[in-house]
Structure 1
Amino acid sequence: MPIKIPDQLPASDVLRHENIFVMSESRASSQEIRPLKVLILNLMPKKIETETQFLRLLSNSPLQVDIELLRIDNRPSKNTPTEHLDNFYRQFEMVKERNFDGLIITGAPLGLVQFEDVIYWEHLQTIMNWANKHVTSTLYVCWAAQAGLKLLYDLPKRTRKEKLSGVYQHDIHDPFHALLRGFDDSFLAPHSRYADFSADYLEQNTDLDILATSEVAGVYLAATKDKRNVFVTGHPEYDSHTLHNEYVRDLGEGLEPAIPLNYYPDNNPDNKPCASWRSHGHLLFANWLNYCVYQQTPYNLDQFSEANFTKDE
């Protein structure tokens, strides 16, 4: 089954061009099934690019997924047209009385900013606390993972001396965990962050299941026992050119960034990068939708209750 998004959303044309089945709202309304209701809180500056990346991963599922886009506040955007935000994004006040099957909170370019200095920090905390009572499973990505760990476990911000940028090898720790169904023993995934997620630190300070780690990048995937909170420290949604665009941007800003590791052929930025993480990115999102959302969520979202969730399948 496809994802259901507004016909006029720019991602619609991109995904259809890629032969991804995107269903119109009118056609979806004629199907006698309940689609999963998934909310995406998009914190990235280039919202159209980011929403397309996440919608691409969410589309690779036999489940029908009804997507709604959420913005953190109503401040003007330098990278996204106001018309786009007004047409396709909702404010939190418009959804806070409802329940959702899933919530995705994206990363944000705030790696060197202290939480208390983030202009929308208190509002983000409100949304994350709301999710604990209104969302079956929340997926925290990159910077949002660090924010989620601060909220749920009161872990202080841990910042690396140098930015972690590149594509890294990861090993899985529990091949029978639902989120890792179908994963190879080792896989590649991109990272672009200053945050530090060491396995020892999370094991000592949380009760999370540590599911996949890298010797260089640390923890990549972790989840609470009930799978209601899932943390992904990398960027499985990235396109093949996203790390390149970030590298060029940082060069233009005079930051002297290191070349993203294991990304360009022969580590030469003049060579065209090739995505080596796409299959596991799709598999991760398909597993999250199936095992953390669909298998756990009530059919009637009005009957949402924490009692619906179990730690094991």
Structure 2
Amino acid sequence: MPIRIPDQLPARDILVREGVSVMDEHTAMRQDIRPMQIGLLNLMPNKTRTETQLARLLGVSPLQVELTLVRIGAHRAKNTSEEHLISFYQTWEEVADRKFDGFIITGAPIELLPFHEVTYWDELTRILDWTKTNAHSSFFICWGAMAAAWHFHKVPKYTLDKKAFGVFRHRNNAPASTYLAGFSDDFAIPVSRWTEVRSSDIAAVPDLELLMESDQTGPCLVSEKTCNRLYMFNHIEYDSTSLKEEYDRDVAAGTSIEVPHEYYPENDPGRKPLNRWRSHAHLLFGNWLNQAYQTTPYDLNEIGKDGG
């Protein structure tokens, strides 16, 4: 089934050109099925790009998915026009009475700040608590995953001596997990962060299961049966050129940055980078949607009544 997004959302044209099946609102209304209700709290500065990345992955499911874009109400975005936010986003307060089959919280470029110094930390903690009763399954990404792991379990984040930056090999710790169905024994995933969580801290929380990790960059994906949570500490949703653009930006600004690890052929920034994670990104999001679909109540109002 296609993904249902607003007809005028800029991501729509990009997805159509890529062959992703996108359903217009009129057609969706005529289908006699309940679409999966997925919310996306987008904390990334380039909201249009993140919308496209995640809609691309949600749009390959055989299920009909209706995506609702959500933003922090008290935070003013610097890199996205107010017109775009008004046209396509709702504040969390505006959706707080709704129930969602799945809710995604992205990363944000604020990872070096202590959590309590983040300007919207209080609102974010209210949203995280709200997911316990209003989202059947939650998917936290990068800084969003670190924030959720700290809020729910006091799993700390640690500052790295240098940025973990590039494409790193990861191993499959749990081949029997429904989230990793079809995954290889090892695979490549993009990493871009100045902080980390550690396996020992995750192991100290009985409710958490470490599904993916790397010898070089540590934990990658953690699951939790409580409220059907997934914590992705890296950027499996990245485009082919996301790391290149981060590298080029830092080089242009005179920031000290190493060439992204195992990203360019022969480590040459003059060559076109190869995407070696796309298939696993689609697989992970497809597995997440499928698991949510199989376990969510048909009646959205029933979500959260049994703790998940």
Assess same fold via TM > 0.5. yes
Matches of 1:118 and 1:252, distance apart in 2: 27
Q: How does 1:28-107 map to 2 (within 5 A)?
A: 28-107=28-107
What SS does structure 2 have at the residue aligned with 1:222? strand
Q: Which amino acid counterpart does residue 203 of structure 1 have in structure 2?
A: A
Report the Cα offset of residue 138 of structure 1: 0.5
What corresponds to 1:297 in structure 2?
Answer: 296
SS of residue matched to 1:107: coil
Q: Tell me how far apart the structure 2 counterparts of residues 227 and 208 of structure 1 sit (CA, whole Å).
A: 12
1:190 is aligned to 190
Contact 1:107-1:144 within 8 A present in 2 as well: yes
| 8 Å contact from structure 2 (residues 75, 120) kept in 1 | no
Question: Which string of whole-angstrom CA distances, capped at 9 and with x for unpartnered residues, describes residues 280-310 of structure 1?
Answer: 000000000011x11111101112234275x
Q: Distance in 1 between matches of 2:33 and 2:271?
A: 47
Q: Distance in 2 between matches of 1:68 and 1:159?
A: 33
Q: Deviations over 1:40-87 (max 9, x none)?
A: 000000000110000000011000000000011354433212111100
Aligned partners of 1:296 and 1:308 also within 8 Å: no
Whether 1:25 and 2:20 are equivalent positions in the alignment is no
Structure 1: distance between partners of 2:290 and 2:154:
29
Instruction: Please say if residues 42 and 106 of structure 2, whose CA atoms lie closer than 8 Å, have aligned partners that are also in contact.
Output: yes
Distance in 2 separating the partners of 1:157 and 1:250: 24
Once the 2 structures are TM-superposed, how far is the Cα of residue 159 of structure 1 from its aligned partner? 1.7
CA RMSD of aligned residues (A): 1.3
**TM-score, structure 2 as length reference:** 0.97
Q: Which residue does the alignment assign to 1:204? A: 204
Contact 2:107 / 2:143 at 8 angstroms: preserved in 1? yes
Equivalent position SS for 2:40: strand
SS class of match (2:93): helix
Moved more, 207-216 or 221-230: 221-230
Q: How far apart are 1:255 and its partner, in Å? A: 2.0
SS of the residue corresponding to residue 295 of structure 1 reads helix
Given that residues 298 and 308 in structure 1 are in contact (C-alpha distance below 8 angstroms), is that contact kept between their aligned partners in structure 2? no
Aligned to 1:238: 238
Summarize the Cα distance change of 1:306–1:191 in structure 2 as closer, same or farther, 3 Å threshold: farther
Distance in 2, matches of 1:76 and 1:150, equals: 24
CA pair 7-136 structure 1, distance change in 2 beyond 3 A? same
Q: Which amino acid aligns with 1:9?
A: L
Percent identity, aligned pairs only?
Answer: 44
Q: How far did 1:156 drift?
A: 2.9
Contact 1:146-1:195 within 8 A present in 2 as well: no
**TM-score for the superposition, normalised by structure 1:** 0.95
2:110 equivalent to 1:116: no
Q: Does 1:253 align with 2:253?
A: yes
Aligned-pair distance for 1:227? 6.2
Q: How far apart are 1:259 and its partner, in Å?
A: 1.2
- Structure 2 CA distance for aligned equivalents of residues 113 and 304 of structure 1: 34
The list of structure 1 runs, each at least 4 consecutive aligned residues, that deviate by more than 3 angstroms after superposition, is none
Amino acid at match of 2:97: E
Measured against aligned partners, the alpha-carbon deviations of 1:168-203 in whole angstroms (never above 9, x if no partner) come to 111111111100000011111101011212222311
8 Å CA contact retained: 2:41, 2:105: yes
Q: Which residues of 2 match residues 242-281 of structure 1 at below 5 A?
A: 242-281=242-281
**Contact 2:135 2:304 (8 Å CA) reproduced:** no
User: Where does the alignment leave 5 or more consecutive residues of structure 1 unmatched?
Assistant: none
Distance between the aligned counterparts of 1:206 and 1:125, measured in 2? 22
Letter in 1 for 2:9: L
In structure 2, what residue type is equivalent to 1:147?
A
Change (3 A) 1:149 1:214: same
Q: Which residue of 1 aligns with 2:164?
A: 164
Query: For this pair of structures, how many residues does the alignment match?
Result: 308
Aligned to 2:16: 16
1:239 Cα deviation after fit = 0.6
Query: Does the CA contact (< 8 Å) of 2:168 and 2:188 recur in 1?
Result: yes
Distance 1:119 1:308, change over 3 A: closer
Distance 1:267 1:68, change over 3 A: same
Asked if the contact 1:141–1:231 (Cα under 8 Å) also holds between the matched residues in 2, the reply is: yes
Aligned CA distance change for structure 1 residues 74 and 120 (closer, same or farther; 3 Å): closer
